[in-house]
Structure 1
Amino acid sequence: MGLLAVLAAVVYALDLGSKFLVVGLLEHKEPVTVIPGVLLLNVIRNPGAAFSIGTGMTIVFTVIAAVVVIAIIRTARRLRSAPWAVTLGLLLGGALGNLTDRIFRAPAPLQGHVVDFIQVFPVTRFPVFNLADSAIVCGGILAVILSWRGYQIDGTRDTGEDVHG
């Protein structure tokens, strides 16, 4: 539980800090090239979900994010696995980062637009994202790998063998 809490707090702090910096220094300015053709810092406000899907449903995404946070916290009570602690810590920190934007940022409470600013391979039109999004994607990938390999949240491992036959 401690690992989950520390990792979630670190992800959350890095996400909020990075958004604070880019909004203060780069918003309403031309994108900043970090690595030509590979990485830009390009501040946008995203009213939708990933890839700007559902731009008119901000309140729905706010509720979904809040439910995810509650579900992770409730699930954490059964946590006895370090890999799952990392997974849930990434998911929780990322969800809290984007939820904070949705609750407190313009245009209105509970309808805020998420600050995105990392743009990789800009010529491919790859979506702009933030550190919270990265943590959520990494946590999701880890969850799939752990589940596929049979690792359970309670620390046990399901080997897939049928003990009855």
Structure 2
Amino acid sequence: MLIDQGTKALALARLSQQNRIPLFGDWLGLQLAFNPGTVMSLGSGSTWLLTLVAAAASVALLIAATRARAAGWAVVIGLLLGGAVGNLLDRLLAPPGFGVGHVTDFLAYGNLFIGNLADVLIGVGVGLGLLLYLLGAQRSRDGERRGAAVDA
């Protein structure tokens, strides 16, 4: 969260909305953008609602963090919480005003969208969470098969 806010401050100081600095050709670059919505500006007309959802998600993730029993799930929750709070701070404190602030973005993924470090944390957290879930479901099915073979 702190690193996210630091990178956003650096982006505000060094980048412009008009010029893109290429990092990997046209695939990835640096360009300043302000997003009132979610990914690809979805929900841009409901910034206040997104702020409420982000606040509720942050509280739920904080509660989940206190109940995490496995290190992997604690990491997932930490990544999601860091990303959610990073973008929530923008919504609360950035212009145009409290609760309707636009998220500062600067990582330009080709011509698809522009995101930030908090978005990366959320994406990695979701991917890792999905992987842990699938691995847990596979272990459960493997255990059921072994149990069925013993019962037969």
TM over 0.5: yes
Distance between the aligned counterparts of 1:118 and 1:54, measured in 2? 20
Equivalent position amino acid for 1:38 in 2: W
TM-score (norm 2): 0.88
Q: What are the equivalent positions in structure 2 for 1:12-51 lying under 5 Å apart? A: 12-28=1-17, 30-51=19-40
Query: 5+ unaligned residues in a row in structure 1: which ranges?
Result: 1-11, 152-156
CA-based RMSD of the aligned residues comes to 2.0
Q: Deviations over 1:38-84 (max 9, x none)?
A: 22101000000111001110001000001111111111222121111
Question: Which residue number in structure 1 is paired with residue 131 of structure 2?
Answer: 145
Q: Give the match for residue 63 of structure 1.
A: 52
Aligned residues: 146
Q: 1:135 aligns with which of 116, 121, 141?
A: 121
Runs of 4+ in 1 over 3 A off after TM superposition: 162-165
Hey, which of these two has a bigger chunk of helix by percent? 2
User: In terms of Rg, which structure is larger?
Assistant: 2
1:89-122: CA deviation from partner (whole Å, max 9, x where unpaired): 11000001000000000001000000111012x2
Normalised to the residue count of structure 1, the TM-score between the two structures is 0.81
| Alpha-carbon separation, structure 2, partners of 1:68 and 1:39 | 29
2-structure distance, mates of 1:35, 1:141: 23
- Return 5+ residue gaps in structure 2 as ranges: none
Alpha carbons 2:17, 2:31 under 8 Å: kept: no
Identity within the alignment, %? 36
CA distance in structure 2 between the partners assigned to 1:29 and 1:16 by the alignment: 22
